[in-house]
């Protein structure tokens, strides 16, 4: 029969502090990475909306009989999309 001996590993306070600081640093880097990704996605979405609004505006201008009141609203419509 095999006897298993379990030993508890006791971490010194200095080693614990070093490990804790390392994990805090990793979390800060991950948070910074996530914030940058979020900002990039926001910028991409705004650019997409701006392009879509500009295309709608140019299409409306190209119409034979453009509706002036709707043309005036199109350039700012990407803010509410």
- Phi and psi based region of residue 37 (left: phi greater than 0; alpha: psi -120 to 50; beta: remaining): alpha
- Model confidence band, residue 11 (pLDDT cutoffs 50, 70, 90): confident
pLDDT reading at 7 higher than 70 = no
| Residue 75: predicted pLDDT | 63
User: What is the DSSP-derived secondary structure letter of residue 4?
Assistant: P
Q: The tokens of 24 are what?
A: 């805090």
Q: How confident is the model at residue 78 (pLDDT cuts 50, 70, 90)?
A: low
User: Would you say 56 and 74 are in contact if contact means Cβ atoms under 8 Å apart?
Assistant: yes
């Amino acid at each position: 029969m095999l006897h298993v001996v379990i030993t508890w590993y006791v971490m010194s306070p200095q080693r614990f502090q070093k490990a804790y600081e390392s994990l805090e640093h990793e979390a800060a880097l991950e948070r910074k990475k996530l914030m940058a990704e979020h900002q990039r996605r926001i910028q991409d979405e705004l650019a997409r909306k701006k392009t879509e609004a500009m295309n709608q505006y140019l299409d409306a201008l190209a119409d034979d009989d453009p509706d002036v009141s709707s043309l005036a609203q199109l350039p700012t419509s990407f803010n509410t999309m």
